[in-house]
Amino acid sequence: MTAHSLHGIGFLIALPDEARSLHPAKLTFDALTQLPGGHWLTVSGAGPAHAARAATRLLEQGVAGLVSWGCAAALNPGLRPGDLLLPKRILAADGEVLAIPPDWRDRFARATADRIGVCSGILVESNGLVADVAAKQSIHAITGADGLDMESSALARVARDAGLPFLAVRAVADHARMGLPDCVTAALDGRGAVHLPTLLGHALRRPTQFVHLIRLGWAFGAAMRTLRLAAQLAGPDFLLTPPAADH
């Protein structure tokens, strides 16, 4: 495939609920969906291994850039649900630092900063779910990272190896002092999907967890509103190419 045949952007999103920020229907894992403007979206499942496998499907569509899109956990205590992480660097779990090329990231930041709180620091990779507040604090103290996710590092490496532009767009869902309740962690499967009967069974045995679920739902809603607004502000091509005035 030649450079002239590349078109559109490939969006990798971990979970079906997050994908609703770009597509109105609830998609399934491994779905490959075409978006308006010739873009493609795939729902990978949580974690770097799932992300790396799903990224190859995006490359097969001949995309001209890759975006890691969705939610992140805040490590920086100054961040709140609904803030937007547009990291300049990603710290992989093996210690490699992946620098994100500035042009696309800077255009996206300029387009969104007037309406959304934007943080442009470090996003760190986790190989597994980080549900505990103390664990978040420890990771922040060791790495200085502002947020954490499980897919962006894998996608950044795929983009680098393919010679494609890359962008990580991650809205804060849970702030640094918000842990995940036991009923949620017990109900998650290997791809990050929640088994609702398990969640409700655990919550009913400890009804105070419903308060945490309500807070978590509000925080996720704030992140989704931010992602939808960011997509609107970025425009049809998500600022992959500079506006004509920038040339």
- Can you give the pTM of this predicted structure? 0.89
Rounded distance between C-alpha atoms, residue 129 and residue 115, angstroms:
30
- pLDDT class for 191, splitting at 50, 70, 90? low
Protein fold of 3-241:
Rossmann fold (3.40.50)
In tens, the pLDDT along 195-243 reads 666 656 666 677 776 667 778 888 999 999 999 999 999 999 999 987 6
**What are the E-state strand segments in 92-225?**
97-99, 118-119, 122-125, 147-149, 166-174
Rounded distance between C-alpha atoms, residue 44 and residue 30, angstroms:
6
Domain boundaries, the chain: 3-241
Hey, what are 174's tokens?
Answer: 């849970």
In tens, the pLDDT along 135-189 reads 999 999 999 999 999 999 999 999 999 999 999 999 999 888 887 777 666 656 6
